[in-house]
Amino acid sequence: MTNALEIEGLTKIYGDGFEALKGIDLHVAEGDFFALLGPNGAGKSTTLGIVCSLVNKTAGKVRVFGSDIDTHLSDAKLNLGVVPQEFNFNQFEKVFDIVTTQAGYYGIPLKQASVSAEKYLKKLGLWDKRNTPARMLSGGMKRRLMIARALVHEPKLLILDEPTAGVDIELRRSMWIFLEEMNRQGTTIILTTHYLEEAEALCRNIAIIDHGKILKHTSKKALLQQLSLETFVLDTEVPLDAAPELGDFHTRLDGEGALEVEVQKGQGLNQVFVQLDQLGIKVISMRTKANRLEELFIRMVEENAVDSSKSVEGAA
Amino acid sequence: MTPHAMFTAFSTIVIREVRRFTRIWPQTLLPPAVTMTLYFIIFGNLIGSRIGQMGGFDYMSFIVPGLIMMAVITSSYANVVSSFFSMKFQRSIEELLVSPVPNWVILTGYVVGGMARGLGIGLIVTLVSLAFTQLSIHNLPMMILTVFLTSALFALGGFINAMLATKFDDISIVPTFILTPLTYLGGVFYSIDLLPGFWQGVSMINPILYMVNGFRYGILGVSDVNPFISLGMILFFITVLAVIALKMLERGKGIRH
């Protein structure tokens, strides 16, 4: 199967000497729903910016559906749709004009562009706002406008940089459904997000990037299998004064008096309840402290931070 | 991109530019008409009647070509510099950068958009001037060629200014401190024959002098310089600025990190 995106040895050093990308390799298969995760400043937006021609690379190769951006940039761009993190449309233009103008940049005549714009504006619930200047839209509508604009030329690869940042839960869920539908219809999707539950819910493959290096590049399933520890938060009927001893399970009280229990891979959760029952502690509700991917992500990034500081000390 | 797709992209840019300056017509189309009317009344009618003849024509007829050219130069420049910088500022330039439009099509689209405003203003000012004097055209091809090329040249200048600008102040510095003095000293209001020899020589290094006189030759048939040298100068500057603008686009100067 063709790769939608291939990145080899991608390096970016900004004018001030900051090395944002340190020779990363990445590939995304056609039809994939792929998440690029990392803390702020990790290099996610720089990577996507280079793929979309918004950032000049220092070294390395980028191919979009086999088209090298150094030699076949136009072909690569024709296959790409981009939804950036920040609003980047003319706030004074009308919604319909923004979408059809973008289609025009891809060489699509107005008549054909109007049909495509209508299709996506309707799908994204913006058709009633087509004659409204963009500045009059709510934040959620502006995000949806950027998605409609990115899709108007029917790209094979859709790149979304934090598409649901600042969007309420209801709208976020409806955007997930829309993106899943696009992916089912064959569009390869790459997204960056801070909401790790979003990546866990939507994506099949994941790369974690930090300090300009890829820490992990694997399937979500394989990644989650590495999760050896999960923390559960138990709300008890009677508030506890101290964390009870539960054998092999590590326990502590959180700031609000709820009991946190760490469960290792292979340990049965029912053992926790048996022991709590023996101690006469009644549990009224339970939740995971963070979603599974978040636990892994935090651990990897923390470990990388420790490794980085060690190497700095070593160099000093 | 196929040639047809490139033409669609080009016309999209031009249409968007025309839509922009017509949408804000009280800021773009009206002010030059008002300003030039005042020039015609004050310099042409009131003061001009005391000056007498200049270059063999009454003063009003003499300054009309220069004033039309002044409006064309200012408007062509202002349209591109403000539109392109505003796209940079709002980051909507990214819409173009992610698309497959070649750099030369982007540049041509903006230049033609700037020319549309410059030439539109030129037409408005010409119509206003007809209320004050009669215009007889001496050499129509020369007149049209000069005004079109001058408009293109200053649209290119505006584009480069917008590429280099990092804040709004930067887009007013060149028009205020370079363009306006050069225009006023470019023979709009006087013939350089009136100047002492040294200052005539200095005037000859002002590119706007060639444009004003080339256009004046097209309308009145008189010029301080050879009109064909004027055309040659304009074409030379267009080539130089177009190469600079394309190089800047290629490197992403001010628009790509």
Nearest CA-CA distance, residue B161 and chain A, Å: 20
DSSP A151-212: HTT--SEEEEESTTTT--HHHHHHHHHHHHHHHHTT-EEEEE-S-HHHHHHH-SEEEEEETT
Q: Look at residue A306 in the predicted model and tell me its pLDDT.
A: 64
Instruction: Give the pLDDT band (50/70/90) at residue A64.
Output: very high
Cβ pair B252, B94 in contact under 8 A: no
Q: Is residue A210 part of a domain?
A: yes
Q: Is residue A274 part of a domain?
A: yes
Averaged confidence pLDDT in chain A = 86
Q: Look at residue A316 in the predicted model and tell me its pLDDT.
A: 43
Other beta carbons within 10 angstroms of residue A313's beta carbon come to 8
Q: Look at residue A6 in the predicted model and tell me its pLDDT.
A: 94
Task: Flag whether pLDDT at A1 surpasses 80.
Answer: no
Task: Give the pLDDT confidence of A263-295 residue by residue, as tens digits.
Answer: 877 777 888 888 888 888 888 888 877 666 666
ipTM attached to this prediction: 0.85
Nearest CA-CA distance, residue A69 and chain B, Å: 11
B3 near A CB under 8 A: no
Identify whether residues A245 and A102 lie together within a single domain. no
CB contact under 8 A, B9 and A86: no
Nearest CA-CA distance, residue A73 and chain B, Å: 7
CB contact under 8 A, A104 and B98: no
H-only helix segments in A203-291? 220-225, 269-278
Task: Give the pLDDT confidence of A174-210 residue by residue, as tens digits.
Answer: 888 999 999 999 999 999 887 777 888 889 998 988 8
Query: Of A192, A220, A248, which residue constitutes the final position of a domain?
Result: A220
CB contact under 8 A, A56 and B256: yes
Identify whether residues A19 and A110 lie together within a single domain. yes
Q: Is residue A251 part of a domain?
A: yes
Using alpha carbons only, what angle is made at residue A210 by residues A208 and A215, rounded to the nearest 5 degrees?
45
Q: Is residue A301 part of a domain?
A: no
CB contact under 8 A, A80 and B98: yes
A171/B121: higher pLDDT? B121
Q: Look at residue A271 in the predicted model and tell me its pLDDT.
A: 84
Identify whether residues A113 and A188 lie together within a single domain. yes
Task: Flag whether pLDDT at A224 surpasses 80.
Answer: no
Q: Which residues pair with A160 in a beta bridge?
A: A83, A191
* Strands, E assignment, chain B: 53-54, 57-58
What residue numbers bound the domain in which A251 lies?
Answer: 227-292
Task: Give the pLDDT confidence of A86-114 residue by residue, as tens digits.
Answer: 899 999 999 999 999 999 999 999 999 99
CATH number at residue A270: 3.30.70.1560
Q: Is residue A306 part of a domain?
A: no
Q: Is residue A297 part of a domain?
A: no
Cβ pair B99, B9 in contact under 8 A: yes
The count of structural domains within chain A is 2
Identify whether residues A148 and A234 lie together within a single domain. no
Identify whether residues A212 and A240 lie together within a single domain. no
Q: Which residues pair with A7 in a beta bridge?
A: A26, A62
Instruction: Give the pLDDT band (50/70/90) at residue A312.
Output: very low
Q: Look at residue A309 in the predicted model and tell me its pLDDT.
A: 59
- Chain A: residues touching B (Cβ < 8 Å): 14, 49, 52-56, 73-75, 77-78, 80, 82, 84, 86-92, 97, 101-102, 104-109, 149
Q: Look at residue B16 in the predicted model and tell me its pLDDT.
A: 93
Give, for all 257 residues of chain B, the pLDDT tens digit.
899 999 999 999 999 999 999 999 999 899 988 988 898 888 777 887 788 777 778 888 888 888 898 899 999 999 999 999 999 998 999 999 999 999 999 999 999 999 999 999 999 999 988 888 888 888 889 889 999 999 999 999 999 999 999 988 888 888 888 888 888 888 888 787 788 778 888 888 888 888 888 888 888 888 888 888 888 989 999 999 999 999 999 988 888 88
Looking at residues A227-238, what average pLDDT do you find? 80
Identify whether residues A202 and A149 lie together within a single domain. yes
Identify whether residues A274 and A177 lie together within a single domain. no
Cβ pair B74, B175 in contact under 8 A: yes
Q: Read off the tokens for A202.
A: 């939507």
Residues 7-46 (B) with a CB less than 8 A from some CB of A:
8-9, 11-13, 15-16, 19, 23
Identify whether residues A116 and A259 lie together within a single domain. no
CATH number at residue A188: 3.40.50.300
Task: Give the pLDDT confidence of B148-166 residue by residue, as tens digits.
Answer: 999 999 999 999 999 999 9
Other beta carbons within 10 angstroms of residue B207's beta carbon come to 16
Task: Flag whether pLDDT at A313 surpasses 60.
Answer: no
- A84 contacts on B by Cβ (under 8 Å): 91, 94
B212/A313: higher pLDDT? B212
Looking at residues A140-168, what average pLDDT do you find? 90
Identify whether residues A188 and A244 lie together within a single domain. no
